[in-house]
Structure 1
Amino acid sequence: MTSEELLRLLEAHWTTVVTGLGDDDLGRVSGALREMREETVAGRPAAVARAVRRLKRTLAALPPGHPVSEALGGHRYAAGARELPRLTTIDAVIGVLGTPPPDPVDLLRSARRRLLAAPALTEAEHTALTGAGSTGPPGGPDPAAGLIRLRDPDDGIRYPRFQFRPGTAEPLPVVRRINALLRADRDPWGAADWWLGGNRWLGGVPADLLGVLPDDALERAAAELVGAY
């Protein structure tokens, strides 16, 4: 895993990184990121590698099963790599993580309100369109398998609407494939944030680019983000 890939992974899952770490660890993350930026500007890859190792040690405090923890457990950062991360990538991660945020809980609530405001199917609407409950008929396939399910405290389960063909509850195959890459079953909020947030590599919001960009372009962007390529 390169430093650029690690940064993209952090950006994709920033909401749960913020809430999964304590204030002290968030401060260490911020310090490591700023050190990475300074050493990248100076063109010192060995010093950038040291900052990345500090960053990885701090991220080890994330809960077991967190997508960042799992990705780091399956990859080793090549300390001798000569590639330096992009300053724009470092700045994007510093911007979303803060130094540290004044109140991570408020930050998370704000992010979740934004995601819940997107068009979605309620549990009842999904059931009406599929003719089955969220887990499907006994012994049958789960009609919601592979989909992002967000829990709204006021409205129950919500399925972001971009996941389905217009006017139906038929999931788009590319959405299911990308959701699997983003570990939507374990981090539905992080997956929803990727789909519904701006993406500078794709030049827009991924959910808005469904049917506009080729499916493989969207899949490649998600795969590169989580280090699957």
Structure 2
Amino acid sequence: MTPDAFLALLHTHWPMTLAALDGDRRARLRDGLRDLAGAGDRKSVERALRTLRQQLRALPFDHPVARELKVTVRYAPAPAAPTVDRALLGELLDVFADPPPDPGELLRTAHERLWRTPALDPAELAPEAADDPASAGLIRLSRSGAGDRYPRFQFVPGTAETRPVVRRVNHILMADKDPWGAADWWLGGNGRLAGVPAELIDTVPDEDLTRAALELVGGR
């Protein structure tokens, strides 16, 4: 994983990443990003990346960033004249304005991104899905006062029929217990698949999606 790929991974899951860390680690993560912004040679880039990786080790094992770093353990060496995506780096650092980021607000930001994805309402579900809408086969995102939404990628285009591969993967991801985490896996970048899983349905073999999910949970 190159430095820019690492920054892109953080950018995709930034609010959820910060919300999962305590205040000290968020501050060290900020310092690592600032060091990376000021790095002018290969050694200083690699030193800043080491600082960032050390803080990310505290993420829960099933966090999307932790999962990706587990699959792509090694980082490509920084070039002698490093080029870091300054726009991405600036957006990551923008979060650290005064006052310090509030974990609850960060998590709400992450959930808002997932909530805005195209979705079906419960009344639009096919009969077989409506029979058990809380099953692990479907991601159901719920908000107090706003009802439930079922991300659209889970269904065959133009229908309300659930895609078989989505049901298999959602069972693996235990979507009934952690629907937001399952949605983030589908809608975030995935290093193993080199893309966003939800956008790769019908493009890559179903077995590849299933295998990527199994790798995440340790093959169970």
- The answer for the alignment partner of 1:126 in structure 2 is 125
Contact kept? 1:2, 1:77, Cα under 8 Å: no
Letter in structure 1 aligned against 2:67 = E
Paired residue total: 191
Aligned-partner Cα distance in 1 for 2:203–2:96:
33
Tell me the alpha carbon deviations over residues 1-46 of structure 1, each in whole angstroms, 9 at most, x when there is no partner. Answer: 222221111112123212100111111111111111111xx3x121
Higher relative contact order (CA 8 A, sep 6+): 1
- The answer for the alignment partner of 2:61 in structure 1 is 64
Letter in structure 2 aligned against 1:158 = R
- The runs of 5 or more residues in structure 2 that have no matched partner are 190-194, 205-211, 213-220
- The answer for the alignment partner of 1:170 in structure 2 is 161
**Could you say what the CA RMSD is over the residues aligned between the two structures, in angstroms?**
4.0
Aligned-partner Cα distance in 2 for 1:111–1:76:
25
- The answer for the alignment partner of 2:90 in structure 1 is 91
Aligned-partner Cα distance in 2 for 1:70–1:192:
13
- The answer for the alignment partner of 2:20 in structure 1 is 20
Aligned-partner Cα distance in 2 for 1:11–1:4:
10
- The answer for the alignment partner of 1:152 in structure 2 is 143
Tell me the alpha carbon deviations over residues 201-229 of structure 1, each in whole angstroms, 9 at most, x when there is no partner. Answer: x9xxx99x99xxx957xxxxxx9xxxxxx
Structure 1 residue 33 corresponds to structure 2 residue 24: no
Letter in structure 1 aligned against 2:150 = Y
Aligned residue for 2:78, secondary structure, equals: coil
Q: 1:81 aligns with which of 78, 83, 88?
A: 78
Aligned-partner Cα distance in 2 for 1:149–1:162:
12
- The answer for the alignment partner of 1:51 in structure 2 is 48
1:171 Cα deviation after fit = 4.7
- The answer for the alignment partner of 2:6 in structure 1 is 6
- The answer for the alignment partner of 2:101 in structure 1 is 102
Tell me the alpha carbon deviations over residues 93-113 of structure 1, each in whole angstroms, 9 at most, x when there is no partner. Answer: 323x43574322123224434
Aligned-partner Cα distance in 1 for 2:61–2:113:
27
* Higher mean C-alpha deviation, range 18-27 or range 53-62: 18-27
Tell me the alpha carbon deviations over residues 77-136 of structure 1, each in whole angstroms, 9 at most, x when there is no partner. Answer: 4474315332222223323x4357432212322443454355532345325474642377
